[in-house]
Amino acid sequence: MSKKNDDLSCTNKISCVKSEDNTLCQSDFTKELVQLNEKADSNNIINSLIIKAKNKKINIKGFAFLASQPYKSHVEDVIFKKACIMLETLIDKEEFPKHVNTVNLTQIMLDGKTYLTKNDPEFKKATKKHYGGIIYDIICKLPQKLFPNFSGKHYLGRTHKRKINRLMEHIDDALAPKNNKNRLLLQAILFALEQEGYNIVELQNDYISLNPFFKNLLLEELVLILMEKYLDIIIIEIHTNYHTTPAREKYHIKNYKHKVHGKYTEGTKTPKGLNMIEAGGSIYKYISLPIYDIAFMIIMGYHETDIAKILNSEYNLNLNPKQVGYRVIEFFKGLQNARVLLMKPILQDILIEFPNIKKDDFYEIFKYFRIFAPDLELFKAFFENLNFKQVKKLIRQKDFAWDNLKQLAEDLRDPTKIKGVSKSQWVEWLIKNEPNLNICKILGLDIKDSHSASSTISRIIQSSSQLFGNSKSEAVRYYRRIKTIDYRLQDISLEWIYTRKFNLKTKGSWNLARFHNKFFGSFNIPYEDLDSMSIDELIKFKGKIT
């Protein structure tokens, strides 16, 4: 199988036309890619990755096949190497279930059964793998006094997915505008979110407006909140094949023995539990697929059709693109979301490594990924709804970090905020002369020494159009002058302002006057004169200093 058609290579798009001496005239970006490729040994990267996967018993036959193919452009080769790094990260984290053949699964089952229960010796070990299907138990932990009809009750279900993914789907059902809000489990989820302070109507409206990527981020946040305080989810059976789960689900909903606030009960159908019916839903045969291979191929720009062809060839399977699509939806919430999750780090690396990259060159990389119109939806999904120019502007900031991109993007769009903090809060910090390290900590900046903190805060103030001053000390003097006049207009004495508001610890006329000169010395207004000014004089003076 050939790697890709010649017309998909972006060498000719990035490179210039041939010059008169018939040598290829390349852009600066392409030349940089050549230099980067010369530093990395592809064979070492590939061999190291295959050995690591083998040691972790992770199948990556699809990766091995693609690694054996020739790459037609420097861009393609660089992306391949960066994709290898991404795959290695996924393997190190053991992010996905391992691909296990059905024959191997059957061997660990006891007495010929097609499932394992909590009482079987192999059950605990089996929960760490991904099999054909599971029966799960969700326990509601809402406060008993406030929610007596929900607290302590159980909900049983079946899925071919990991339990946390299934719980995220239940949250999705609760937030989506469907005619199923009478389902008790979904009501329990909404009650729990209300307990956390969410306005359900606003949350549902916001959720509807999100694209799949940001929906998934919100679901990941909400599922952690619910699992910490309000819901437990455990696996009670593991099945080799999803087809055997419906009968067992129906059995357990009718017969499951468990406790509700210390009292034994049997079955989870309402009113004993949170199941509305004994069982339901459609099933189809669940096929375990090598998710690490699928992830790598998505990074490399392949669609479900190409992925299915490679998996069929390397694993002796008989897949169609739709079956691959099921797994992509299951683990990544769809192909576009998978691209955001897996391709974005590579594009971020390229932007950092090639700070002078031009817009056209960067967009050619998108075209290599078979993604077009990059200045529209997908580019915005990658980079927090920013355009190329805005992203480059943020990257040039000295304290830039990708982890802070969302906040930086919000600041860029909201000129009333500075580093995600309102102007009024900054002014309050400056009037108090809040320590620089404290401000850095609040802003989430990993700065440990006072000198770096001081220069960072001064740089933020200098670059902001909302704050006055080229340094923190200058800003402190300015805002303390304004605050002093505001207090004097309320007939509050300078002594009280300086000692109580600005924390001057040593009193006495000499110390008060010296402290006063820090802020007003350049205006030739002595301490005594300002302390005795009339309201009209204060208003006139404030106009001069603002």
**pLDDT (tens digit per residue) in 217-242:** 889 899 999 999 999 999 999 887 77
Same domain, 66 and 164: no
426 CB-contact burial (10 Å; exposed 0-12 / middle 13-18 / buried 19+): buried
The half-sphere exposure of 248 on its side-chain side, counting CA atoms within 13 A, is 23
* pTM attached to this predicted model: 0.53
* Domain's final residue, options 455, 472, 489: 472
Residue 385 domain-assigned (yes or no):
no
User: What's the token pair of residue 342?
Assistant: 């897996």
Same domain, 66 and 213: no
pLDDT at 465: 79
Same domain, 251 and 135: yes
| Number of domains the chain contains | 4
Same domain, 106 and 249: yes
Q: Which of 90, 31, 82, 34 is nearest to 60 (CA)?
A: 90
Q: Are 238 and 122 in contact (CB under 8 A)?
A: no
Same domain, 142 and 227: yes
Residue 429: which domain range?
420-472
Residue 402 domain-assigned (yes or no):
no
- Angstrom distance (rounded) from CA 29 to CA 284: 49
pLDDT at 140: 96
Q: Which of 20, 58, 66 is nearest to 42 (CA)?
A: 66
Sign for the CA dihedral angle at 321, 322, 323, 326 comes to: positive
Same domain, 83 and 118: no
Q: Which of 376, 464, 451, 459 is nearest to 412 (CA)?
A: 464
Q: Are 475 and 467 in contact (CB under 8 A)?
A: yes
* Domain's final residue, options 472, 494, 512: 472
Residue 167 domain-assigned (yes or no):
yes
Where are the strands (E) in 193-248, listed by range? 231-239
- Angstrom distance (rounded) from CA 105 to CA 219: 31
Residue 214 domain-assigned (yes or no):
yes
Largest CA distance in the chain: 97
pLDDT at 120: 81
Same domain, 443 and 500: no
User: What's the token pair of residue 237?
Assistant: 């059976």
Residue 274 domain-assigned (yes or no):
no
Same domain, 139 and 233: yes
Alpha-carbon Rg of the chain, whole angstroms? 31
Residue 272 domain-assigned (yes or no):
no
Q: Which residues of the chain have pLDDT under 50?
A: 1-26, 33-34, 36, 38-39, 102-111, 373-375
Same domain, 251 and 115: yes
* Domain's final residue, options 338, 361, 395: 338
Q: Which of 44, 11, 65, 5 is nearest to 297 (CA)?
A: 65
Same domain, 133 and 173: yes
Residue 392 domain-assigned (yes or no):
no
Q: Are 24 and 15 in contact (CB under 8 A)?
A: yes
User: What's the token pair of residue 312?
Assistant: 């069929």
Same domain, 512 and 451: no
Residue 322 domain-assigned (yes or no):
yes
Sign for the CA dihedral angle at 272, 273, 275, 276 comes to: positive
Same domain, 106 and 197: yes
